[in-house]
């Protein structure tokens, strides 16, 4: 069983709705106003099945669109998901303005297949029909609807003439239609929302990719609301699942009609993010009335959504070197800024309509719906070129490269491309084999980034050693934070650098090979002496400058050793030029604490008695104890805490 979506297109009153009814028996004009005025205002839907060319069944969902120029925006909301178009041209009127506009839209949307239907054949004589046929052939030359590749069929919905020919043509065309990818992540652009008695909220749309099953959890974009699929209908029949390429109605739990509107998208939950910026390739129709200037406001239509967007041309791309405008018939890479986030993915088509008066002026394809801020123009251009040329592995490689130190997670790659994780792996397999891209668990890092890191990290360490000659190494965490690396990538990069003997790791420290630890003999000796001088002195410490003066090494090196001892808290600075060994201060604390039970208060005289130090040392030591909250000053005495 194959499912396809057939859309109508063409000028007002040319017989689109009558044709759908003649084929399916269903009147797609469902609104009271449509019936009263005899015109289509909004999208209409119908369905039928035909025996397929291969003996199976062909399920056909019809999307009938309005021809009135005022309702082109409704036409646009429905035409996005179609596989085959019936371009309807009334034999008694031939080509009219919306024949052209709809046909432009079909080409801009990249619709690949179609049949031209000359309706109302009963209303004209054979000569007229032949003339119209010639006119139409001329109009369609060198397009996807060129005859005879795409047939032209004359019909009358009134008499039924030609309808069987048309059905045969549809079946033949359907055989060549590539089925949409039902294994991809699901996306359903919503074109209708309503409540149904006994069911609640129902949405409809053309499932453009993936499969939706009953009880699936889906996410509404852009709101992010999660809903559950209570029931599914495909072509008016209840079903367990809907697959890509089917007109789908879903009964949803978890949302009311106030939460949902045409233009929103239902998609696989927890996977995508909506965006306000899309990088695109756009084309301006040769018939566009004027040049499209940078920062023009336009009506932007994609799938069933529409918004007012701003076009900003990419500054330095080869397609429009001036970067400031595009002439009718021209093309360019551009960024579209949107007022509200929407869910769009690379490959999605869009239409641009002039801000005012509203006419179709162009369209194109989304190349990147997650442009990152602050990238160089060359990086942006390269990505757009690869995406535009359909070079998926290169495009993915650049997506990895532009994430620089942070790398690209598989989840991000899926969200950015709409590809499944397995597809990402497959497209990157060659780059991984050649180590152009390196894979750390769930994160991809580009070899350029790897190269930069393996060069820069040793430089950072060299700089560190130069500034801290007596420190054995740089703290790993400090180094990692400096490069904002994830723990996994950091560990892997360090491992690689260790293998290459570009650095050494010891405990929590990283250092250049042979650096940091080796203290020259004289320095090690001096360090020992300083420590000894203070540890043996207890609280009656010598003056620091005297200790240093007695050493063999010069003053600057001696001072560095003191800094190191202070950093490691072997020595503690209590006041300027007054340094104690840690053990002496610990003993003092114990002494003070032991005294508390006897007398909770101590004055300077008692302190001097207890410790045997002079007043010169007693005051700074007591102030130190106050700071350490061992004692608290009360008048001239201290309370022991």
Ligand X SMILES: Nc1nc2c(ncn2[C@@H]2O[C@H](COP(=O)(O)OP(=O)(O)OP(=O)(O)O)[C@@H](O)[C@H]2O)c(=O)[nH]1
For residues 5 and 247, is the Cβ–Cβ distance under 8 A? yes
Nearer to Mg ion, 40 or 360 (CB): 40
Backbone angles phi, psi at 452, to 5 degrees: -65, -45
* Residues 249-278 contacting ligand X, CB under 6 A: none
* Residues 107-166 contacting ligand X, CB under 6 A: 119-120, 122-123, 156-158
Q: How far is the CB of 44 from ligand X (least distance, A)?
A: 8
By DSSP bridging, strand 292-293 and strand 211-213 are unpaired
Site string for Mg ion, 409-448 (x = CB under 5 A): ----------------------------------------
**67 near ligand X, judged by CB under 6 A:** yes
**61 near ligand X, judged by CB under 6 A:** no
By DSSP bridging, strand 305-313 and strand 408-409 are unpaired
Residue facing ligand X at closest CB distance: 67
Q: How far is the CB of 69 from ligand X (least distance, A)?
A: 10
Nearer to Mg ion, 9 or 95 (CB): 9
**102 near ligand X, judged by CB under 6 A:** no
Residue 53 near which of ligand X, Mg ion, none (CB within 5-8 Å, type-dependent): none
Nearer to ligand X, 16 or 403 (CB): 16
- Piece of 7-15, 177-185, 322-330, 524-532 that binds ligand X (CB under 6 A): 7-15
Q: Using CB under 5 A, pick the residue from 5, 9, 21, 40 that binds Mg ion.
A: 40
Nearer to ligand X, 37 or 552 (CB): 37
Count of residues touching Mg ion (by CB under 5 A): 3
Residues 278 and 340: their CA atoms lie apart, in Å, by 12
**93 near ligand X, judged by CB under 6 A:** no
Give the 3-state secondary structure of residue 489: helix
**78 near ligand X, judged by CB under 6 A:** no
What pairs with residue 85 in β-bridges? Answer: 7, 114
Q: How far is the CB of 149 from ligand X (least distance, A)?
A: 25
**27 near ligand X, judged by CB under 6 A:** no
**14 near ligand X, judged by CB under 6 A:** yes
**119 near Mg ion, judged by CB under 5 A:** no
Residues with Cβ within 8 Å of residue 455, at least 6 apart in sequence: none
Residues 296 and 282: their CA atoms lie apart, in Å, by 13
**312 near ligand X, judged by CB under 6 A:** no
Residue 206 near which of Mg ion, ligand X, none (CB within 5-8 Å, type-dependent): none
**69 near ligand X, judged by CB under 6 A:** no
- Count of CB atoms situated within 10 Å of the CB of 477: 12
For residues 240 and 213, is the Cβ–Cβ distance under 8 A? yes
Residues 411 and 536: their CA atoms lie apart, in Å, by 62
Residues 207 and 144: their CA atoms lie apart, in Å, by 24
**40 near ligand X, judged by CB under 6 A:** yes
Q: Using CB under 5 A, pick the residue from 7, 9, 17, 193 that binds Mg ion.
A: 17
Q: How far is the CB of 12 from ligand X (least distance, A)?
A: 4
Structure tokens at 329: 């018939």
What pairs with residue 294 in β-bridges? Answer: none
Helix (H), strand (E), coil (C) string for 131-193: HHHHHHHHHHCCCCCCCCCCCEEECCCCCCCCHHHHHHHHHHHHHCCCCCCCCCCCEEEEEEE
Q: Kindly state the DSSP code that residue 452 receives in the 8-state scheme.
A: H
Q: Using CB under 6 A, pick the residue from 27, 30, 39, 391 that binds ligand X.
A: 39
Residues 641 and 64: their CA atoms lie apart, in Å, by 87
Q: At what angle do helices 615-627 and 604-611 cross, to 10 degrees?
A: 100
Of 192, 185, 228, 232, residue with least CA distance to 210: 185
Q: Using CB under 5 A, pick the residue from 14, 16, 303, 402 that binds Mg ion.
A: 16
**18 near ligand X, judged by CB under 6 A:** yes
Residue 13 near which of Mg ion, ligand X, none (CB within 5-8 Å, type-dependent): ligand X
Q: Using CB under 6 A, pick the residue from 5, 59, 61, 66 that binds ligand X.
A: 66
By DSSP bridging, strand 331-342 and strand 292-293 are unpaired
Q: How far is the CB of 40 from Mg ion (least distance, A)?
A: 3
Please report, as ranges, the residues that interact with ligand X according to CB under 6 A: 12-18, 38-40, 66-68, 119-120, 122-123, 156-158
Please report, as ranges, the residues that interact with Mg ion according to CB under 5 A: 16-17, 40
């Amino acid at each position: 069983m194959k499912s396809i979506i057939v859309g109508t297109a063409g000028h007002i009153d040319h017989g689109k709705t009558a044709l759908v009814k003649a084929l399916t028996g269903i009147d797609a004009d469902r609104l009271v106003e449509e019936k009263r005025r005899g015109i289509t205002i909004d999208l209409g839907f119908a369905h039928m099945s035909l025996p397929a060319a291969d003996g199976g069944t062909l399920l056909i969902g019809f999307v009938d669109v309005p021809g009135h120029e005022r309702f082109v925006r409704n036409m646009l909301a429905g035409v996005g998901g179609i596989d085959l178009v019936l371009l309807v041209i009334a034999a008694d009127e031939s080509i009219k303005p919306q024949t052209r506009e709809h046909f432009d839209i079909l080409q801009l949307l990249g619709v690949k297949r179609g049949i031209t239907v000359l309706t109302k054949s009963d209303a004209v004589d054979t000569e007229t029909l032949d003339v119209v046929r010639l006119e139409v052939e001329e109009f369609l030359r060198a397009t996807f609807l060129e005859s005879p590749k795409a047939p032209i069929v004359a019909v009358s919905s009134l008499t039924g003439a030609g309808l069987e020919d048309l059905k045969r043509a549809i079946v033949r065309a359907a055989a060549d239609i590539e089925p949409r990818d039902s294994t991809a992540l699901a996306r359903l652009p919503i074109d209708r929302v309503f409540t149904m008695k006994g069911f609640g909220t129902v949405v409809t749309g053309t499932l453009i990719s993936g499969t939706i099953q009953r009880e699936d959890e889906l996410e509404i974009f852009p709101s992010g609301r999660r809903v559950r699929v209570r029931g599914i209908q495909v072509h008016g029949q209840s079903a367990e699942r809907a697959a890509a390429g089917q007109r789908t109605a879903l009964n949803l739990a978890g949302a009311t009609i106030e939460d949902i509107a045409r233009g929103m998208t239902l998609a696989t939950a927890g996977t995508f993010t909506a965006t306000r910026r899309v990088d695109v390739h756009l084309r301006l129709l040769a018939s566009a009335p004027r040049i499209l200037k940078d920062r023009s406001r336009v009506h932007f239509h994609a799938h069933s959504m529409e918004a007012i967007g701003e076009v900003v041309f990419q500054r330095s791309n080869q397609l429009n070197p001036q970067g400031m405008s595009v002439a009718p018939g021209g093309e360019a890479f551009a960024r579209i800024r949107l007022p509200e986030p929407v869910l769009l993915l690379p490959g999605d088509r869009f239409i641009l309509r002039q801000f005012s008066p509203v006419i179709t002026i162009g369209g194109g394809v989304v190349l990147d719906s997650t442009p990152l801020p602050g990238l160089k123009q060359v990086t942006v251009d390269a990505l757009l070129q690869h995406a535009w040329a359909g070079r998926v592995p290169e495009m993915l490689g650049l997506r990895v490269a532009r994430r620089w130190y942070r790398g690209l997670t598989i989840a991000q790659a899926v969200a950015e491309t709409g590809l499944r994780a397995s597809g990402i792996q497959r497209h990157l397999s060659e780059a991984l084999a050649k180590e152009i891209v390196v894979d750390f668990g769930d994160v991809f890092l580009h070899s350029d980034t790897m190269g930069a890191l393996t060069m820069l990290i040793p430089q950072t360490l060299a700089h560190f050693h130069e500034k801290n000659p007596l420190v054995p190494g740089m703290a790993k965490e400090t180094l990692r934070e400096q490069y904002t690396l994830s723990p996994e990538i950091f560990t892997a990069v360090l491992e690689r650098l260790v293998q290459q003997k570009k650095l050494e790791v010891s405990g929590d420290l990283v250092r250049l090979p042979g650096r940091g630890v080796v203290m020259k003999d004289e320095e090690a000796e001096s360090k020992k002496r300083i420590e000894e001088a203070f540890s043996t002195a207890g609280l009656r410490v010598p003056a620091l400058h005297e200790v240093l003066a007695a050493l063999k090494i010069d003053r600057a090196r001696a001072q560095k050793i003191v800094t190191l001892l202070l950093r490691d808290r072997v020595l503690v600075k209590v006041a300027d030029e007054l340094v104690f060994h840690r053990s002496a201060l610990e003993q003092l604390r114990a002494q003070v604490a032991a005294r508390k039970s006897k007398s909770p208060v101590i004055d300077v005289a008692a302190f001097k008695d207890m410790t045997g130090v002079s007043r010169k040392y007693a005051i700074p030591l007591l102030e130190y104890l106050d700071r350490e909250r061992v004692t608290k000053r009360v008048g001239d005495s201290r309370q022991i805490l």
